[in-house]
Structures are given as C-alpha cells and as structure tokens.
Amino acid sequence: MSTEKFTILQLGHPHLRLTARNVENIQSDNMQNFIDDLLHFVSEVNGMGIAAPQVDHSLRLFIMSSRPNIRYPHAPSMQPTVIINPEIISVAKKIEKDWEGCLSVPSIRALVPRHQSIRACYTSRTGEHVEATYSGFLARVFQHELDHLNGLVFTDRVEDNHDMMAEQEWLELISQR
Ligand code: ZN
C-alpha cells in the first residue's frame, strides 16, 4: 500500500525489525511536516494507528486514531493523537485476547494477548509531557503501536497458530456476531 509520500513496509522488510530511536527535534519544521503527513496518511488508509517505522522512519513516534468502522464497530472515537517517545509506566495484570490486524501484515488477523489497561507517558507534538491511562481497545492499540517501535509485530505475540485467521474468514466470523 502506498501514496505519494509513504509506502507501508510489509512483513519481511528488515526495517520493521529495528529498534527505533528517540525523537529529539520535535519542534523542527521537518518533524512537524512529517507528523502532518503521517496524520493525513493514517486517515487516508483508515488506520486505527500507524507507527513511524511502518513508513520507514525509524523514530519513536506513532499515531492513535481509533474510530468505529466495519471491522471494529465498537472502537471508540478519538481525535487522532500523536504519541512521541512513549513509555509504559505500569500495566494491569489482567490480560485479554482480542483481534488485531496491521497495515504491515496484510490479510492476516489474530487473537493477541494484551494488558487490559496501561498507564503510559509520552511527549505531545507541542513538546508537552503527557500521562494517560488507556483501557480496552485503546490500550490494545497503544501496545500494538509501541511494539512497532521495538521491532515487533502483532503476530510475534500470538500464542497459538490456531488464533490466526485469513482476513476473508475473519470477516465472515465477525459478520455472524
Ligand atoms: Zn501494526
């Protein structure tokens, strides 16, 4: 998948496996333009989130942009949020499995175990330190995107191969709910 500005790296591309480096020049024109482009891109491709390494920028930055769609009718609506240099402060012990997909892993869906809620901090695009608590779907998106900054994709966390499905089968499954 690609547009003028970005191509999404696909599973197997070695750059998806890198540990991304901290963003140090948040206020620079280059970085602010990159953020604007990425915000535009994630809305164009209807993503719930996207991490900079997915478009071949090895930076600790991602966007969360949850909103309901056909695949995730119960996803909460939120303003797209730019998350820079994120860290998880603490996690709930409770682990939940739910379905995930990824723009970098086309045609595959899988049940992925994640902490049900997390306390996290990050830097905003205006340079402010933010602390936030996420639970459920948003905690899941945050953990999924943070994994990209550490060279992980969601299939790395699947516990059982039987928890993986082809997109087509998965769409049939959720349409029967
Ligand atoms: Zn992903």
pLDDT at 75: 83
d(CA 83, CA 124): 6
pLDDT at 101: 94
Residue 145 among the catalytic residues: yes
Averaged over 76-102, what is the pLDDT? 95
Task: Kindly give the distance from the C-alpha atom of residue 16 to the centroid of ligand 1, in angstroms, as a whole number.
Answer: 10
Q: pTM for this one?
A: 0.94
pLDDT at 47: 84
- What pLDDT digit, counting tens, does each position of 126-171 carry? 999 999 999 999 999 999 999 999 999 999 999 999 999 999 999 8
The catalytic position among 145, 159, 167, 172 is: 145
Answer whether residue 2 shows pLDDT above 60.
no
pLDDT at 10: 97
